[in-house]
Structure 1
Amino acid sequence: MSDTNEVMVRRAESFPLEKVGAGAGTCRSVMISSEQAPHFALRRFVMEPGGGMPLHTNTVEHEQYILKGSAEVVIGETVYQISEGDVVYIPAGVPHSYKADAEKGFEFLCMVPNKQDVIEIVEPGC
C-alpha cells in the first residue's frame, strides 16, 4: 500500500473496464487503488441492461453513489429499488446482490477501504 501524496486527475473513461467473473454483463474499473491512495479505493461498476451480481458478502464495507440507470438491490433481507443520484452504504459481511434494469442498465461508483477483501458467493446466479 502506497503512502503517496501525488495528485492524480484523469477522465473516468480512461480506466479500462474489466469483466467481473461472478457477474452477468458486469464490468469494473479501478480508478483509485491502494497504489494511489492510502485509505480507500474507488471503483466504477457498469452493468448492462439485465446484468448483475449474485448474492455475496465482502469482508469490507461499501460506500456507493449511483451514476446512471437503476437496479433492484438486495441488502440483507431487504430489496431496494435504486436509481441515479442514490447513495448506498453496505456494511461488511452483509449479503447483497444487484439486478440491473432490463432497459437502462446500471452504473455506480463504489469506494472500499484498502484492506484485504474476501468475497463469498452466497447464492450463485444473478
Structure 2
Amino acid sequence: MEYYISNFSNVKKEEVKIKGSKGSFIQWLVTKDHGAHYAVRRFTLEPNGVIAPHVHKYQETVIILKGSTKVCVGREVKELHENDFIFIDSGVEHAFYNGMDPLEFICIIDYVDDMSIHPVDRSCI
C-alpha cells in the first residue's frame, strides 16, 4: 500500500483490556496491515480513566493531544499536559491515570517478536 487515509471516526474503538484498566479506549490507526513497520494508536480516557500498570517488550512514544495525565514510569510519577510527549523503553513498567477532564493521546510503537502485555500488580500513585 503506497498510502492510507482515514479519520478517527472510521476506526473501531475498543476498551483497553489490561487488568485493572477502566474508562480507557484504543484505536489502531496505522498498523502492519497498512504496510507500516510500526503502529500508531489513539487512546482516549474518560474522566478518572486508568490504563493500569503493565510492561511489554516494545518501545513506545506517547504524545498528549488533549488533557493531562499522571504517568507512572518505572518508580516515578510524572505529570504530562497537552503537547507533552514521553518515550518509554521496552521492559519499563508504566501506567496512565487521568484526572477530571477527557484525555486523548497518540501512541507510536514498534513491532517486536513478542507483542504481549503483562499486567503489573502494583499502584504507583
Secondary structure of 1:123's match?
coil
Aligned: 1:17 with 2:13: yes
Number of residues of Structure 1 aligned to a counterpart in Structure 2: 121
What's the counterpart of residue 93 of structure 1? 91
Query: Which 5+ residue runs of structure 2 have no aligned equivalent?
Result: none
How far 1:124 sits from its partner (Å)? Answer: 6.1
Corresponding residue number in structure 2 for 1:109 = 106
Please list every run of 5 or more consecutive structure 1 residues that lacks an aligned counterpart in the other structure: none
AA paired with 2:65? L
Misfit runs of 4+, over 4 Å: none
Q: Which amino acid aligns with 1:105?
A: P
C-alpha distance in structure 2 between counterparts of 1:15 and 1:38, whole Å: 17
Is the partner of 2:67 in helix, strand or coil?
Answer: strand
Is 1:121 equivalent to 2:122 in the alignment?
no
Task: Calculate the TM-score normalised by the size of structure 2.
Answer: 0.89
Counterpart of 2:27 in structure 1 is: 29
Residue in structure 2 matched with residue 56 of structure 1 by the alignment: 54
1:105 CA displacement:
2.4
Residue 3 of structure 2 corresponds to which residue in structure 1? Answer: 7
> For each residue in 1:19-76, what CA deviation from the matched residue of structure 2 results, as whole angstroms up to 9, or x when unmatched?
1122200110000111113311100011100001111101100011111111111000
* Aligned partners of 2:70 and 2:77 also within 8 Å: yes
CA RMSD of aligned residues (A): 1.6
- Residue identity over aligned pairs, in percent, reads 26
Cα displacement (A) at 1:117: 1.3
User: Contact conserved, 2:30 with 2:36, CA < 8 A, in 1?
Assistant: no
Equivalents in 1 of 2:35, 2:76: separation in Å? Answer: 33
Q: Give 3-state SS (helix, strand or coil) of 2:45's partner.
A: strand
With normalisation by structure 1, the TM-score equals: 0.89
